[in-house]
Amino acid sequence: MTISYEVSITLNENKLMQLAAMAAENRLTLPYLTTVSIPPIDIPAWLATRLNAHKYYWSDRAGKIEIGGVGIALKLHPDGKTSSLSRVQQISALCADDRLLFLSSRRFDSERDSDPIWDAFDPGCAVIPEIMIVRTGDDYCFYHCVGISPGTDINAVRATFELVSTSDRSNAETQSVACGFRPVNVVSFPNLTRWREHVRSVLREIDDGRLGKVVLARRTDYPFSDPIDAWSLFLMLRKHYSDSYAIFHQVRPGESFMSFTPERLYRRENRTIAVDALSSTVPRGGTPDEDRQFENQLRGDDKQNREHRFVVDGVSGMLNPLCRETPRVGETSVMKLSRIQHLWTPITGILKDEIGDDRLLDTLHPTPAMGGTPRREAMEMIRQLEPFDRGLFAAPWGFASGAGAEYAAAIRSALVVDDVVSVFAGAGIVAGSDPDQEWRELDSKDILRPFIAEGKAS
């Protein structure tokens, strides 16, 4: 595929000097951002030409917003008192610039000991990439950002912008790289025997009335004989899971996280918020009649509907104190994806003025669809039973700005570290759950399995 574009950036000297003075006065690093409209461009193809260690890609499931970024211009770390998203609000207000767009994620469980494999991803931080291309609808915009700190050499900043204006042009041929998926082994944590034990442990707690639902997860490791090209893997899977959010986060060429999730945690447009209640799973049918049979089975199954009601009630209950009035719970329908279908209920509301994105994430994550209910008891059960740290799996990943934000829950995900692909999937355990049936549901949610099973190589 051929991509072609060029960009010319105009430096606003007055704004740059004002920002430098503001950074010195507040003892902060502030983003100096320049944006310019560009012709339509294939953002994934553009990212394929970039050699940066840090790469980011995010697109919503409706195809309305697409973000590609490289490098790090500004990274906000949480401290003991202030979250990174609180600092996003502070900096966006100080700069009075709603164009500022921060990418951020969190760990699934901040109270669990972290596995070192997740450390490089800096979950909890918020980042503005050095260069981004953002598509909103049919409009494409090129972003260039530089962090301005107290004592920053302004001449060096000017030179950076001149370099981008003169050299950030591309007319590159990019070709998809074939990915052969023939692992030398397959290992699941837990294995089937331990999984059955874990499910039965949860069911006993449910029978005793201490729990209503627990979402248990499995990590499946696929080691290969050679390092995996994570970006090629991502592009191939993105075509297959085109009806979902697509997330890619590379921290070095051999270490990347990706997710193809249908699960929106929330979308905020100024004070309006929309949240998904998404749960319960059956496969897609091979024919229209078979597909309708599975849909009718999903709609009529008592266990599936009880699982979904936990999610709807939990999400609306958590959202209620954050809104000016009782959130509106929409009609439940069936969301059909490429391989599976879910029960889906939209929930919307108007946020109180003081509610920011940090408060939203603190309140909504993890939803009953990601952790269970009651939340505290379910999380304790997950810590007790799961033999791995979920890290970014089932955790919030998205973007925030002054004007809006959108976060997905990063399920249906994989971590690529050199020659090992670790795939994560989860299943909601409620009264009536069968361990072997839930194991098969995990198989249906394994994003790599169909390519290995079918021997596909592209």
Q: In b/e form, how buried is each residue of 246-271, taking b as 16+ CB within 10 angstroms? A: bbbbbbeeebbbbbbbbbbbbbbeee
Phi, psi (degrees; rounded to nearest 5) at 239: -65, -35
Judgement on whether residues 388 and 411 belong to the same structural domain of the protein: yes
Q: What is the mean pLDDT of residues 19-31?
A: 91
Asked if residue 89 and residue 198 are part of one domain, the reply reads no
pTM for this entry? 0.91
Per-residue pLDDT of 226-270, as tens digits, reads 999 999 999 999 998 988 999 999 999 899 999 999 999 999 999
Q: Quick check: is 181 in a domain?
A: no
- CA separation (Å) from 114 to 72, 109, 264, 307, 362? 23, 9, 25, 29, 19
Whether the CB-CB separation of 407 and 397 falls below 8 Å is answered with yes
Res 98 pLDDT > 70: yes
Q: Residue 380 is part of a domain; what is its CATH number?
A: 3.60.120.10
Q: Which pLDDT score is estimated for 456? A: 39
Distance CA 66, CA 246 (A): 9
Claim to verify: residue 151 and residue 258 sit in the same structural domain: no
Dihedrals φ, ψ of 87, to 5°?
-70, -30
pLDDT tens-digit readout, 5-22: 677 777 788 888 899 899
300 and 353 assigned to the same domain:
yes
**Per-residue model confidence (pLDDT) at position 4:** 62
In this structure, are 223 and 108 located in the same domain?
Answer: no
Q: Which residues form the domain of 14?
A: 2-173
3-state helix, strand, coil in the chain (%, to 5): 35, 30, 35
Residue 151, pLDDT above cutoff 90: no
Whether pLDDT at 221 is above 50: yes
Decide if 182 is inside a domain: no
pLDDT of residue 307: 86
- pLDDT, tens only, 429-452: 999 999 999 999 999 999 998 888
- Whole-number percent of the chain with pLDDT over 90: 68
Residue 155's pLDDT is what?
84
